[in-house]
Structures are given as C-alpha cells and as structure tokens.
C-alpha cells in the first residue's frame, strides 16, 4: 500500500527520534571534545564550546581568512593579493587551535563519528554561499591502505552529512588518492608541498564526465598549508570542473598574519 509523502515523512521523523533516544540510552551523550556528560548526542559542554573560535565575516573573499575590518575593496587578505590559491573561494567554520584540536583529532581517529552531523551544520553555515551554487561535493580522498587502517575517511563523512543538509549530491569516488603519502604531521610547509604533489590525486577516466562542467565544492576536515587542497583543485580543474570551491571544518589561522 502506498503511503502519502507527508505521512511517510512523519513516520521517518518519529523513527529517527526513537533511534536517537535509543542511542542516548545505550551511549549516554558525551561532550564531543572532553567527554563530560551533555544533554544530547553531538553537543559540547559549555566550557569546550567557549573554547571554539568560529570564523565569520569580514573575511577574505578568496580564502576565508579573517580580515581586520569591513569595507576593503576588494576584500582580499595579503596572501591572496600576493598569490591567490587555485580555488575560487574557500571557507572554514572554525580556527584550528588548542580549543578545537582535541575534538577534531578524536573525530579523525574514528572515536567520535557522530560528531560529523554537528560539524557539518557548522560548515553549512560558513559555506552557505558556496553550497547554494554547488552541483557536486567532493571529499579529499585518503589512500585505500589508510582507509583500511582507519576504517573511514573523515572528509567523506563530512561531505555525506553536508549533502544530506544541503541537497547537493556528493561523490566519494570521482577523486582518488593514487599512492600513500607519508603522514603530514610534524612536516614543515615545504616538506608538505613536496609530499603532496598533483600526481598523488587523480580523477579516474571513466568518471571524468561527472566532474566536467560542474561547480564543485571540495570538502576536508583541516586546512593547514592548503597544499593538499591545491593539488586536488588542480586535478579537478584539469578534469574540466567549471569551478572549484573549498569548504573545511577548521583552518590554521596564524594570529601574526591576520592583519593585512
């Protein structure tokens, strides 16, 4: 028997709420950062919440870097004036610092995957303008071997939740990592650039048609030097993407270079 769409939506909503309550019963909700008890799954305690630094305008049109005041024309940071990134427009929800690092590292190592829905909601706010015009969300891929070890790709999880929120389709397979690069942790900026070359990423020939002519938003968890995102952007552009924007959960913002 066919079920009318509104009735089906109500039923799905009831099931989702029941599942959430069941999850709360099995897994008491804990702060995404410090694991103190909180009211609901996917929340932070008041203290950890105060430690987060959300990025908001005025920001650099090109890369989302905080600008000291509004009204700059064009609204570009010093770095983008000197050498703009290969992507059209980049946004980050948070500053990657001591307030957000622990929460994100836990998420990266598969302990707190339920955090993805919360993180995606913050990213959707920061990247509202990008998502409104996007045609495809593409997570930065991890190599198959690393996927086997870690069990999931945190960028893909964020892309999946962003797709659910925004209605923009996502694709975890149009961009692949061809060979395992050494872990980026502890490397200098120059070493990272050398480590991540455009050769590390590829769009499989049989999937190029899904990239060609599309407005794409690249999704990742943390932007440090931007070397990985630059390599991915170039590969997608070479495959014919109409444009590539970047949306990340958190970005390293060095206080000394905020001022233009």
Tell me the Ramachandran region of residue 210: left when phi exceeds 0, alpha when psi lies from -120 to 50, beta otherwise: alpha
In whole angstroms, the minimum distance from the beta carbon of 36 to Zn ion comes to: 5
Residue 193 CA to residue 226 CA, distance in Å, equals 9
In whole angstroms, the minimum distance from the beta carbon of 172 to Zn ion comes to: 28
In whole angstroms, the minimum distance from the beta carbon of 200 to Zn ion comes to: 24
In whole angstroms, the minimum distance from the beta carbon of 186 to Zn ion comes to: 26
How many CB atoms lie under 10 A from the CB of residue 137?
27
* Residue 82 or 205 with smaller CB distance to Zn ion: 82
Q: Given the rule CB under 5 A, which residues bind Zn ion?
A: 31, 33-34, 36, 45, 48, 60, 62-63, 65, 77, 80
In whole angstroms, the minimum distance from the beta carbon of 75 to Zn ion comes to: 9
For the chain, what is the largest distance between any 2 Cα atoms, rounded to a whole number of angstroms?
64
Distances (CA, A) of 141 to 147, 175, 180, 202, 215: 9, 7, 11, 10, 18
* Residue 45 or 142 with smaller CB distance to Zn ion: 45
* Residue 48 or 174 with smaller CB distance to Zn ion: 48
The pair phi, psi for residue 33, each rounded to 5°, is -105, -55
Residue 124 CA to residue 93 CA, distance in Å, equals 8
* Residue 65 or 201 with smaller CB distance to Zn ion: 65
- Nearest Cα neighbor of 197 from 211, 181, 218 is 181
* Residue 66 or 141 with smaller CB distance to Zn ion: 66
Task: Sort strands 243-251 and 90-95 into parallel, antiparallel or unpaired.
Answer: parallel
* Residue 175 or 245 with smaller CB distance to Zn ion: 245
In whole angstroms, the minimum distance from the beta carbon of 3 to Zn ion comes to: 41
Chain CA centroid to CA 54, Å: 14
| DSSP structure class, residue 180 | P
* Residue 58 or 151 with smaller CB distance to Zn ion: 58
- Nearest Cα neighbor of 242 from 156, 136, 166, 163 is 136
In whole angstroms, the minimum distance from the beta carbon of 58 to Zn ion comes to: 12
């Amino acid at each position: 028997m066919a079920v009318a769409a509104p009735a089906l939506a109500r039923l799905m909503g009831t099931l989702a709420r029941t599942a959430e309550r069941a999850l709360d019963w099995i897994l008491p909700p804990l702060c995404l950062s410090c694991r103190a008890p909180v009211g609901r799954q996917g929340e932070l305690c008041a203290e950890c919440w105060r430690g987060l630094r959300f990025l908001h305008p005025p920001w650099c049109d090109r890369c989302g870097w905080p600008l000291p005041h509004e009204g700059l024309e064009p609204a570009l940071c010093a770095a983008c004036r000197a050498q703009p990134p290969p992507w059209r427009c980049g946004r980050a929800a948070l500053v990657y610092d001591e307030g957000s690092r622990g929460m994100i590292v836990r998420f990266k190592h598969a302990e707190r995957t339920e955090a993805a829905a919360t993180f995606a909601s913050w990213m959707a706010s920061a990247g509202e303008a990008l998502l409104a015009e996007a045609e495809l969300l593409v997570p930065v891929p991890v190599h198959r071997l690393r996927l086997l070890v870690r069990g999931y790709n945190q960028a893909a999880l964020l892309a999946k939740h962003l797709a659910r929120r925004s209605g923009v389709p996502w694709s975890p397979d149009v961009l692949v990592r061809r060979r395992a690069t050494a872990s980026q942790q502890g490397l200098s900026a120059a070493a990272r650039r050398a480590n991540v070359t455009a050769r590390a990423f590829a769009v499989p020939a049989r999937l190029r048609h899904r990239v060609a002519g599309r407005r794409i938003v690249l999704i990742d968890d943390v932007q440090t030097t931007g070397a990985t995102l630059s390599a991915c952007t170039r590969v997608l552009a070479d495959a014919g993407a109409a444009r590539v924007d970047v949306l990340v959960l958190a970005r390293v913002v060095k206080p000394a270079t905020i001022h233009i």
